[in-house]
Chain A
Amino acid sequence: MNNTQDSDVARMEEHLLEAIPDLRNAFEAAQEALAADTLDDFARLLEAADRLESLARADGTAANVHDLMNILTALRGYAEMLREDVKGDLPELSSQLETLLQHIESTRSVNTDAGGSEKRSLTVEPGFILAVDDLKENRELLARNLSNSGHIVITAASGEEALRALEQSDVDVVLLDLLMPGMDGHEVLRRIKDHPDWRATPVIVISGNQDMDGIIECIEAGADDYLFKPFNPVLLQARIKAGIERKRWHDREEQYRQQLERNEKFIRATFGRYLSDEIVTDILERPEGLELGGDLRRVSIMLSDIRGFTTLSEHLAPSQVVTMLNRYLGTMTEIIMAHNGIIDEFIGDAILAVFGAPQRRDDDSDRAVTCALAMQSAMVEINALNQAEGFPAVHTGIAINTGDVIAGNIGSERRSKYGFVGHAMNVTSRIEDITGGGEILVSESTLISLSGDYKVGTSKKVNVKGIDETILVHQITGKAE
């Protein structure tokens, strides 16, 4: 045993022996009320205390752990038997016995070999521990026990003080005595478990008198673990360790949850303006299906444009142009979102929308066509409102093409948006050029991919600029009856 331990043992012995005279006084005061057996037990306890004293005197320290532990076993055994005998009837005597038992418990750490593997394994992760007890000796005992094994211990002498400490520090584990004057342990526990920031902090309740009902009540109220006094230091260490691990797990989980929340916020901010809530929710529920890095995907692209709007706007006041445009774009946005399309951008009076990104669905092209039909129907209402305000009627042409595009976050670090690049985009624009007011034109590829029945009107050929290519487009005039 090293010197530090020797002096620890000497100090513990000293505490132990100091407790004896008080116990003896309490006993003598109660003597008449005690049975012969109890008196006999007490005589033997004193005998054991005498042995301890002579052992302490003999070498100053307890070099002989074997002898020391034998004496302590006897002391503990008699003290526990006496506690059973006098239980409840003689409070002064009971409390003296408790004190003695606690001192005996604190010596148990001696034989666990402070430098040994057992102790090290219990203190892998030091924690921040709040020990709450109204008795100074108990606080000191806890603090000594726990700081020896590397934990940081703060103490509180009352419930009120405990709550203040929790406000000021990030506590890993609370050790809470139940019986305290003023705010008792039950109330402190209730407040901890009601507090949003403290709720996850493990609470180990310490009960003085094997009060199983009180413990059960605490466990039901959210306590994580319990210990009876006098507590066994090794058990205390193990429970503290488990409590710290529980807290660490919670902290990691909380960090992960916050990360997820940030991701969700980011996704909603990125997509929310041009995606329907349904699609955003869909993405959030299946994040693995969404690669922001950019991927090649088959989509149906819709481009709508008010015929002759530029000319028209030259004859109107700017505020009138804005009113008309907002009415038109507002209505169209609602319809497109209702069909789960993404609005990629507004270009003046033109709307570029995409169906099939970020999530591909089987009915992408059908939704695009149905959406276009709904948009054309809505023009009737828009024009009625326009005319009521003295504005001219407007007519939109809608082109739809289905093809492969690269979808992804396009732009710089500072400013990027989910967008689309590809030949299919240009083709759509080419189709839109030849679309008349009130007309819906779809490419051959879109028509083939439709699963619903639609009324198909005339078909025509379009030359795509820049590429030596002619494609076939078809007029859609409505749903099939």
Chain B
Amino acid sequence: MNLSGTVLLVEDNELNRDMMIRRLSRAGLDVLTAGNGKQALDIMRSEMPCIVLMDMNLPVLDGWAASRRAKEDKDIGHIPIIALTAHATDDHRQYALDSGCDDYATKPVDFPGLLIKINKLTRL
């Protein structure tokens, strides 16, 4: 699958972040990165990415709070957010969706599945 557009990857784990940047770039996407929730909100407002991939366990401002704030902001509330979490339980899934995330992917991330989700959400 080949995609185009700019994706904001919010991830504090540099190992993962590097890997994701490589794979997303290979898939045709331009990648911006942020290391915490506060940075993520700033970049969303200034760069208007097509979509945000948001880790939930982040320093400074965590992914849940950042997602809630983004969705309450009329300028960036339309930008889809996919939560990336280490837990695949129903509770975690629900918690992410309740925070305003549009979809959800569990680590270790199924990359083709993630691309399908990105494609679906950015087409809408």
Taking Cβ atoms with an 8 Å cutoff, the residues of A that contact B are 41, 44, 47-48, 51, 65-78, 80-81, 104, 107-108, 111-113, 116-118, 232, 234
Contacts and interface: CB of A to CB of B under 8 A. Distances in A.
A108 B88 contact: yes
A71 B15 contact: yes
B2 interface: no
Given A108-B88, A111-B87, A70 B20 contact: no
A362 B16 CA distance: 83
B6 interface: no
B1 interface: no
Contacts of B26: 81
Given A74-B18, A111-B89, 17 more contacts: A51-B15, A67-B13, A70-B16, A73-B20, A77-B16, A77-B19, A77-B20, A77-B22, A77-B23, A80-B23, A81-B19, A81-B26, A107-B108, A111-B86, A112-B88, A117-B89, A118-B89
Interface string B21-65: 011001000000000000000000000000000000100000000
22 contacts: A44-B15, A51-B15, A70-B13, A70-B86, A71-B15, A73-B16, A74-B15, A74-B18, A76-B109, A77-B16, A77-B109, A77-B111, A81-B22, A81-B23, A108-B108, A111-B86, A111-B89, A111-B107, A113-B87, A113-B88, A113-B89, A117-B90
Contacts of B107: 69-70, 72-73, 111
Contact of A234 (B23, B87, B88, B109): B88
Contacts of B119: none
A105 B106 CA distance: 12
A317 to B, nearest CB: 90
B109 A116 contact: no
Nearest to A115: B89
Interface in B74-98: 86-91
B62 to A, nearest CB: 12
Q: B interface, how many residues as a size bin? A: 20 to 34
Contact of B108 (A76, A81, A112): A76
A48 to B, nearest CB: 6
A318 to B, nearest CB: 86
A234 B88 CA distance: 10
A78 B19 contact: yes
Q: Which of B13, B15, B110 has the most CB of A within 10 A?
A: B15
B88 A111 contact: yes
Nearest to A66: B86
Nearest to A80: B111
Contacts of A66: 57, 86
A451 B23 CA distance: 87
A75 B108 CA distance: 8
A112 B88 CA distance: 5
Nearest to B86: A69
B86 A68 contact: yes
Contacts of B108: 69, 72-73, 75-77, 104, 107-108
A77 B22 CA distance: 9
Given A77-B109, A111-B106, A116 B20 contact: no
B59 to A, nearest CB: 12
A116 B87 CA distance: 11
Contacts of B19: 44, 48, 73-74, 77-78, 81
Contact of B110 (A70, A81, A117, A232): A232
Nearest to B17: A74
A73 to B, nearest CB: 4
Nearest to B13: A70
A70 B87 CA distance: 11
A70 B15 contact: yes
Contacts of B109: 73, 76-77
B16 A116 contact: no
Nearest to A72: B108
A78 B17 CA distance: 12
A161 to B, nearest CB: 32
Contacts of A75: 108
Interface string B96-122: 000000000011111100000000000
A142 B73 CA distance: 47
Contacts of B89: 111-113, 116-118
Contacts of A117: 89-90
A75 to B, nearest CB: 7
Contacts of A71: 15-16
Q: Which of A44, A111, A113 has the most CB of B within 10 A?
A: A111
A76 B19 CA distance: 9
Contacts of B20: 73, 77
A234 B13 CA distance: 25
Contacts of A44: 15, 18-19
Contacts of B91: 116
Nearest to B84: A73
A44 B22 CA distance: 11
A76 B16 CA distance: 10
A47 B15 contact: yes
Contacts of B16: 70-71, 73-74, 77
A68 B109 CA distance: 12
